[in-house]
């Protein structure tokens, strides 16, 4: 039957949990988010480094939150533990994360399946790296970045929407098994897309998309 050696369980009542990580004197923080399946929301606005609200109804999915700092370099990790269980019924897993907008952040996301909404434009970004299995990604980078940074999206995303600030220089390199590409307001040169501001911009966002993305929307505003 394909379930030999696998513990079978049914989801229980939804557990709600909040966690906070205080801001310290780290000059930069590396943020790693590892979620197997569910719904993820990331945004700015926390007075602390992190405010996290979780809701899940499979006990073994209780997120593990860790933070360390060495020589002014912080590492924040939020991880959904791996589970060998098979689940029947409606399994629920929601993460709502709020990050500090003043601390320089490098964000890495590993996401197996589900929906992710990343409102990152008001953060002090140093880079974004997203690796997804299947599902839907909505990433909002609109804001006024003070320095250039790179964004990478990899994997088999079903649909990806990236909202970008038109006043910043934007360059996008889109390769691999991409389905439909919607990039209104961009100029195209082969696999590369760029906006009007790119030629003379002092601040740029470079976007790299690789893998089997079914459909991608680049939206300037």
Residue 170 pLDDT level (bands cut at 50, 70, 90): very high
Question: Residue 52 above 70 pLDDT?
Answer: yes
Contact predicate 41/97, CB 8 Å: yes
Question: Residue 5 above 50 pLDDT?
Answer: no
SS3 4: coil
Spans of all domains in the chain: 14-82+91-220
Strand boundaries in 72-183, DSSP class E: 73-79, 86-87, 93-99, 104-119, 124-140, 149-155, 159-164, 169-174, 180-182
Question: Residue 86 above 80 pLDDT?
Answer: no
**pTM of the predicted model as reported, rounded to 2 decimal places:** 0.91
Could you give the CA distance from residue 212 to residue 175 in angstroms, rounded to a whole number?
A: 9
pLDDT of residue 2: 36
Question: Residue 8 above 70 pLDDT?
Answer: no
Residue 133 pLDDT level (bands cut at 50, 70, 90): confident
Report helix, strand and coil shares of the chain as percent, to nearest 5: 5, 60, 40
Question: Residue 11 above 90 pLDDT?
Answer: no
pLDDT of residue 89: 60
| Average pLDDT, rounded, for the chain | 90
pLDDT of residue 132: 87
Contact predicate 162/195, CB 8 Å: no
pLDDT of residue 169: 98
Question: Residue 212 above 90 pLDDT?
Answer: no
Residue 180 pLDDT level (bands cut at 50, 70, 90): confident
Question: Residue 3 above 70 pLDDT?
Answer: no
Q: What is the pLDDT of residues 92-106, one digit of tens each?
A: 999 999 999 999 999
Give Cα 61 distance to the centre of its chain.
19
Q: What is the mean pLDDT of residues 193-202?
A: 95
pLDDT of residue 179: 78
Residue 87 pLDDT level (bands cut at 50, 70, 90): low
């Amino acid at each position: 039957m394909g379930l030999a050696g696998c513990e079978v369980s049914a989801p229980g009542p939804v557990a709600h949990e909040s966690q906070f990580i205080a801001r310290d004197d780290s000059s930069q923080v590396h943020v790693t988010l590892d979620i197997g399946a569910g719904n993820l929301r990331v945004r700015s606005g926390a007075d602390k480094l992190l405010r996290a609200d979780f809701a899940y109804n499979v006990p073994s999915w209780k997120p593990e939150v860790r933070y360390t700092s060495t020589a002014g370099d912080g590492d924040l990790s939020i991880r959904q533990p791996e589970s060998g269980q098979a689940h029947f019924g409606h399994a629920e897993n929601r993460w709502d994360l709020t990050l500090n907008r003043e601390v320089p952040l490098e964000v890495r996301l590993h996401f197996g399946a589900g929906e992710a909404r990343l409102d990152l434009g008001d953060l002090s970004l140093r880079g974004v790296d997203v690796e997804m299995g299947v599902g839907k990604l909505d990433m909002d980078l609109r804001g006024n970045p003070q320095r250039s940074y790179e964004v990478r999206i990899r994997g088999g995303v079903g649909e990806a929407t990236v909202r970008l600030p038109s006043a910043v220089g934007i360059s996008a390199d889109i390769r691999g098994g991409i389905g439909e590409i919607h990039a209104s307001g961009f100029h195209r040169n082969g696999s590369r897309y760029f906006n009007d501001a790119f030629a003379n911009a002092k601040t740029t966002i470079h976007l790299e998309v690789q893998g089997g993305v079914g459909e991608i929307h680049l939206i300037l505003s």
